[in-house]
Structures are given as structure tokens and as C-alpha cells.
Amino acid sequence: MGHHQEKEALFDGLVEAARALGNGRRAELIDVLAQGERPVDELAAEINQSIANTSQHLQRLLRAGLVCSRRSGTRIYYSLASPAVERLWRALRDTAEAHTEALGDLVRAYVGDRADLNMITRDELRRRLRQGDVVVLDVRPQPEYDAGHIPGALSLPVSDLKSRLREVPQGGEIVAYCRGPYCLYADEAVQMLTDEGRRAARLEEGFPEWKAEGLPIEHPTT
């Protein structure tokens, strides 16, 4: 037992998941799939790639065991293989944020400066939900809301927000949430609502982190 060749093969095997995650487009796929299962064409649109290319990326993830797929009629739905994959993706983000100085610039270039953005923690949102003086807005695309959301949240995708502003209940403060720390949907929603004179805040991070903490969720399409 235990000669070089087997050791190399073992470690080569261990890093397969890292290689699968080691591509920006595939990471985007994982980030979207953390919201719930999606068919190939929708995923391709989400990451702005051709369907053929997206399909090949998905098969790479499949081979690495990070996702699984199921056929339903004419479409094939992909989803994360398990919560371990989400943990890996989160550990990767944490490491990247902690150590590559260059990343700060990349984050700023994409999300801008959140210093002046009204942001509340999960704990704070739970308190407010118990008090009942808050409107929670899920601004992700509809299928992601359907796959699971914070209890009592209203689905109002950012893409529709401008035209459906009147649907947002008057009165309480509004808390918008989306996919996670690198998703801008909630930022845009808060901006739009604030411009309309409403009081609005962004939930820190997003739905997968809420779920990962074991907080209550609604309608996981049972």
C-alpha cells in the first residue's frame, strides 16, 4: 500500500472538484444553481454563454459530481448535488475575499460601493418578521422564488419591479433579498424603491445563506 503512483492518483482525484469549480462561468452556474434547479437554456441565458458551451460546462460539473440532472419531458434540469457543494463554493469565496487583494477591486468594479446601501442582517430581519412591520421582497427571477423562498416574501423580480411598483404594499419598511453577496438584484431594487420615496434595505448576502443557516423557508416545491 501507499506508493507514489497511488498517492498522486488520490490527490489528482481529490482536486477534480476544484478543477470543475476553477472556471468563472462554471462558478456562475453553481451560484445560480444554489438557488434551485434550472434547465440548460435558462442557465445559458443567466451566464451569457451559448447553449452548447453551457451544456459542456454542466457536463464537466456533472462528471465532477458537483451537480446532478433529471429529465422532465423535453427539458433537462440541473441542480446542486448536495449542500456540501454550497459549502465548498462558500469556502472558496471566503478564501478569495480574504487573500487576493486584487479581488477587492473586482468586487468594487462589479457591485460598486455598498457603504451607503441600507443593509440589514439575517438576525435583524428575523426580529422584524416577528414584529410583523416589514415587507420582504424576493427580487430574484420567478423560478428561483418557486424553488424556495423566505416565508411571507413576495416574488417581484427586478426585471419587473419598475412596472409593478404599485404591487409593493405601503406602510412598513421593505427588505429586498436576492442570490447572495455578488448579486446586484437587491441593490437595484433598494435603489429603485428609495428613489420612489420608500424605505428599503438589502438583506445581507442572499437566500442560500439564509437556508444554510437553517432558518425557515417556504415552498421547497415538495
Residues designated as active site: 178
CB atoms within 10 A of CB 64: 18
Residue closer to DNA by CB (options 20, 129) is: 20
**3-class SS at 60?**
helix
The yes or no reply on residue 82 touching a second copy (CB under 8 A) is yes
* Contact positions with a second copy (CB under 8 A) in 177-206: 182, 184, 188
Are 54 and 47 within 8 A, CB to CB? yes
Give yes or no for residue 167 binding DNA (CB under 7 A).
Answer: no
Q: Which does 142 bind (CB under 5 to 8 A by kind): DNA, a second copy, none?
A: none
Q: Given candidates 13, 73, 132, 169, which one binds a second copy under the rule CB under 8 A? A: 13
Q: How far apart are CA 82 and CA 66, in angstroms?
A: 8
Residues 66-105 that bind DNA (CB under 7 A): 69, 71, 73-77
**Residue 27 or 119 having the CB closest to a second copy:** 27
- Residue 39 touching DNA (CB under 7 A): yes
Describe the crossing of helices 40-47 and 24-33 by its angle, rounded to 10 degrees: 120
| Min separation Cβ 41 and a second copy, Å | 18
